[in-house]
Amino acid sequence: MSREERYARGLEVMRRIDTGEVREAVTSVADVSPELAHQIIAWAYGEMLARPVLAPRDRQLVTLGMLAALGGCEPQLELHVGASLNAGLSPEEVVEALLQSAVYCGMPRALNAAAVARKVFAARGIAAPDPAC
């Protein structure tokens, strides 16, 4: 597959889960590093996120866990909480994934991730999930 074809496929995958936030983030880096912006679309979306084995919602679950564990990735986590909702995860599933991260990466990282989720939910007018469990 050519560079242009990977880029086009990346744009198509991005359109399925993005409401504009990811495109804005890519655009904001393009003036500093056009190649980084290209690789985000062509490689991350056109290659990795386009792979058929995991469904987009499952890939987003993995991404939430990774970004929560890394810490310091709150802007990217914010984008992916939104993308997770767009990919079909419920707010309860997002919160549960972030809760699970506390076991493996610690309470401070999980708290930071939950604060990011709260921000995304509020921006979308989504009520906090019921903590019935």
Query: Do both 18 and 73 map to the same domain?
Result: no
Is residue 68 in a domain?
yes
Does the pLDDT of residue 132 top 70, yes or no?
Answer: no
Is residue 131 in a domain?
no
**DSSP states of 22-90:** HHHHHHHHHTT-HHHHHHIIIIIIIIITT-SSS-HHHHHHHHHHHHHHH-S-HHHHHHHHHHHHHTT--
Tokens of 82: 């939104």
Query: Do both 78 and 121 map to the same domain?
Result: yes
For 49-67, the pLDDT digits (tens) are: 999 999 999 999 999 999 9
Query: Do both 66 and 45 map to the same domain?
Result: no
For 72-102, the pLDDT digits (tens) are: 999 999 999 999 999 999 999 999 999 999 9
Does the pLDDT of residue 133 top 60, yes or no?
Answer: no
